[in-house]
């Protein structure tokens, strides 16, 4: 597999540290609010990387962090995002209120990623559970002379790292909010920030770890000092990821991550989607308009992960129509195979089917070329020289990477989310008392979540739309 490595600026052959194994860290969400659909592209990119390696037979260990405490954001001097979330919701600024807020938005994040059919990470560590690990890492940096203390906190001295800013050749960006006269260099960043009213105890004083140190501590704890792949949005490369590299490599005296994979922005009318700009859509905004979350997944797969994607409702509508057609084709293929009285599974591929599989692998191996892989899927299901059994085999096989929920033999849902279980129960109760108006209202609500409910002799059945 060849991947574009931001560290070198080149698309390179992937060589694992351990043969047959991939260790990968993905920058996860700061859980002070709902993630927006631009954020979700980074998590989808990580999912495709994992699926692609597993498709090729690798054993993958995927770690994605939850930032639920600490100094979040690209700078060290601005207001903490979680504190901002507490103020937005009128909550007290306490550690217990932080936990309540971040527990809620962590669950919303898990729900959104499940709706997008993202595989759950093998490890989903929370920053608040790793304060001790942060402190140990900062102490290592202190012992080696890489940090200094100011009245505001403990800072990493970027002048001590001759390779600082090597990711993407940026040289690191300056602090984005004003100047701190106590810093030796404005590029220096906080590894611990003091706070006399709230925070955690440390050898330097009460406060919070910096966002950057949290990711270093969690990734190195679960993957080792050196691991294969680190991912995130391209906006994280200049500051957050350069800072991670500087402090991690300075502490261990070794390489940190070998391959850095960054996805492009999702834009609205040409502008980056961001909460700070007030121009975001949540996944619930999509489902409330009757779109399936998997239609959004299809839309993202239709653009290469490194290219900016301009989101429009018209484009999403086209993606939903295409995804629905694929589902219909899958059901028709299942029915054709079932009625053929022949084998239920492919025993040996014909040369034509084998060629399709090879082309698919070649596209995925070429820096995750999902637009070409999608186009190939459409070509295969329209190829009259393939049997229905071979077509279905290719649909199932390709979907192991694409993740569009096509690799099953029906459209029924076997694992119904709790929210939908309750809606189905409410609808059944309304039907029992012949409250058809309420039953229809609940049916429409279920549709906004991307599902269709059908009434059968065996009861209500749920299908994705």
Using the 3D structure, point to which of 263, 298, 327 is the last residue of a domain. Answer: 263
Strand partners, 22: 60
What confidence tier does 176 reach under pLDDT thresholds 50, 70, 90?
A: very low
276: tokens are 């700070």
Average pLDDT over residues 175-203: 85
The percentage of the chain sitting over the pLDDT mark of 90, rounded to a whole number, equals: 73
Query: Based on the domain organization, do 89 and 166 belong to the same domain?
Result: yes
Query: Based on the domain organization, do 171 and 197 belong to the same domain?
Result: yes
Among the ranges given (135-149, 200-214, 334-348), the one the predictor scored with the smallest mean pLDDT: 334-348
Cβ atoms within 10 A of the Cβ of 347, count? 6
Query: Based on the domain organization, do 250 and 147 belong to the same domain?
Result: yes
Q: Tell me if residue 406 falls in helix, strand or coil.
A: coil
**What is the count of structural domains for the chain?**
3
DSSP labels for 147-182? Answer: EEE-SSEEEE-GGG-TTTT-GGG---PPPSSS--TT
Cβ atoms within 10 A of the Cβ of 263, count? 27
Q: Does pLDDT of 116 surpass 80? A: yes
Residue with more model confidence, 40 or 346: 40
φ, ψ (nearest 5 deg) of residue 23: -110, 125
Q: Does pLDDT of 171 surpass 80? A: no
Residue 385 domain-assigned (yes or no): yes
131: tokens are 């304060």
Q: Report the alpha-carbon distance of residue 18 to residue 40 in Å, rounded.
A: 29
Query: Based on the domain organization, do 459 and 337 belong to the same domain?
Result: no
Using the 3D structure, point to which of 244, 263, 282 is the last residue of a domain. Answer: 263
Beta strand 207-209 with 189-194 is: antiparallel
What confidence tier does 409 reach under pLDDT thresholds 50, 70, 90?
A: low
Residue 285 domain-assigned (yes or no): no
- Outline where DSSP puts E strands in 264-320: 266-268, 271-272, 309-310
Q: Report the alpha-carbon distance of residue 21 to residue 41 in Å, rounded.
A: 24
Average pLDDT over residues 298-323: 97
pLDDT at 10: 97
Query: Based on the domain organization, do 227 and 203 belong to the same domain?
Result: yes
Query: Based on the domain organization, do 256 and 149 belong to the same domain?
Result: yes
Q: Report the alpha-carbon distance of residue 254 to residue 213 in Å, rounded.
A: 16
182: tokens are 């106590």
* 426-462 pLDDT per residue, tens: 887 788 777 888 888 898 888 877 788 888 766 787 7
Residue 252 domain-assigned (yes or no): yes
Query: Based on the domain organization, do 348 and 212 belong to the same domain?
Result: no
Residue 307 domain-assigned (yes or no): no
CA 363 → CA 54, 58, 303, 372, 376, distances in Å? 15, 18, 13, 6, 9
pLDDT at 177: 45
Indicate the helix (H) or strand (E) that contains 4.
strand 2-5
Mean pLDDT of the chain: 91
Query: Based on the domain organization, do 139 and 207 belong to the same domain?
Result: yes
Residue 284 domain-assigned (yes or no): no
Using the 3D structure, point to which of 231, 263, 295 is the last residue of a domain. Answer: 263
Question: With DSSP H G I counted as helix, E B as strand and the rest as coil, what are the percentages for the chain, rounded to 5?
Answer: 45, 15, 35
Contacts 24+ apart (CB under 8 A), 354-359: 356/380, 356/383, 356/386, 356/394, 357/394, 357/397
The CATH number that applies at residue 335 is 1.20.120.1910
Average pLDDT over residues 251-258: 97
Cβ burial, residue 55 (10 Å; 0-12/13-18/19+): middle
Contacts 24+ apart (CB under 8 A), 164-169: 164/242, 164/246, 165/242, 166/7, 166/242, 166/245, 167/6, 167/7, 167/237, 167/238, 167/241, 167/242, 167/245, 167/260, 168/6, 168/7, 168/9, 168/237, 168/238, 168/242, 169/9
Residue 164 domain-assigned (yes or no): yes
Query: Based on the domain organization, do 132 and 63 belong to the same domain?
Result: yes
The CATH number that applies at residue 148 is 3.40.50.620
CA triple 291-461-454, angle to 5 deg: 70
Of the candidates 99, 77, 56, 261, the residue with the CA atom closest to the CA atom of residue 181: 77
Helices 37-55 & 293-301, crossing angle to 10 degrees?
A: 70
pLDDT at 453: 85
Query: Based on the domain organization, do 168 and 224 belong to the same domain?
Result: yes
Alpha helices per DSSP H over 366-435: 370-381, 388-402, 418-432
Query: Based on the domain organization, do 204 and 83 belong to the same domain?
Result: yes
Residue with more model confidence, 280 or 235: 235
* 197-250 pLDDT per residue, tens: 999 999 999 999 999 999 999 999 999 999 999 999 999 999 999 999 999 999
Domain limits at 349? 313-402
Beta strand 10-13 with 2-5 is: antiparallel
């Amino acid at each position: 597999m060849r991947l574009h490595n931001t560290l070198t600026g080149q698309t390179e052959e992937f060589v694992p540290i351990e043969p047959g194994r991939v260790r990968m860290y993905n920058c996860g969400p700061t859980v002070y609010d709902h993630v927006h659909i631009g954020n979700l592209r980074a998590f989808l990119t990580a999912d495709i990387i994992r699926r692609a390696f597993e498709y090729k037979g690798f054993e993958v260990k995927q770690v994605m962090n939850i930032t639920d405490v600490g100094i979040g954001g690209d700078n060290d001097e601005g207001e903490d995002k979680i504190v901002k979330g507490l103020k937005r919701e009128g909550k007290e600024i306490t550690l217990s209120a932080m936990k309540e807020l971040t527990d809620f938005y962590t669950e919303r994040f898990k729900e959104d990623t499940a709706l997008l059919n993202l595989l759950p990470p093998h490890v989903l560590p929370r920053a608040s559970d790793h304060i001790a690990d942060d402190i140990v890492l900062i102490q290592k940096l202190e012992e080696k002379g890489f940090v200094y203390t100011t009245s505001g906190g403990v800072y990493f001295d970027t002048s001590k790292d001759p390779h600082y800013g090597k990711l993407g050749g940026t040289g690191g960006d300056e602090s984005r909010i004003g100047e701190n006269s106590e810093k030796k260099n404005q590029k220096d960043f906080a590894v611990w920030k003091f706070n006399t009213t709230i925070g955690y105890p440390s050898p330097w004083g009460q406060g919070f770890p910096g966002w950057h140190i949290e990711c270093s501590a969690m990734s190195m704890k679960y993957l080792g000092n050196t691991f294969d792949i680190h991912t995130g949005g391209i906006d994280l490369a200049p500051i957050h990821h350069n800072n991670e590299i500087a402090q991690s490599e300075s502490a261990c005296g070794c390489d940190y991550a070998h391959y850095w994979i960054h996805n492009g922005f999702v834009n609205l009318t040409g502008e980056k989607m961001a909460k700070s700009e007030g121009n975001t859509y949540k996944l619930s905004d999509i489902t409330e308009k009757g779109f399936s979350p998997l239609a959004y997944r299809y839309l993202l797969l239709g653009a290469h992960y490194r290219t900016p994607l301009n989101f429009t409702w018209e484009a999403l509508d086209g993606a939903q129509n295409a995804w629905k057609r694929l589902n219909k084709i899958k059901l028709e293929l299942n029915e054709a195979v079932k009625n053929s009285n022949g084998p239920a599974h492919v025993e040996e591929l014909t040369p034509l089917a084998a060629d399709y599989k090879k082309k698919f692998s070649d596209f995925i191996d070429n820096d995750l070329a999902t637009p070409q892989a999608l186009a190939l899927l459409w070509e295969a299901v329209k190829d009259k020289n393939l049997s229905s059994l071979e077509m279905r085999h290719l649909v199932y096989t390709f979907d192991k990477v694409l993740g569009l929920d096509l690799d099953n033999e029906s459209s029924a849902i076997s694992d119904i989310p709790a929210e939908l279980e309750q809606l189905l129960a409410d609808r059944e109760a309304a039907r029992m008392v012949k409250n058809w108006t309420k039953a229809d209202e609940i049916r429409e609500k279920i549709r906004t979540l991307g599902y269709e409910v059908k009434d059968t002799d065996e009861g209500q059945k749920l299908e994705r739309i």
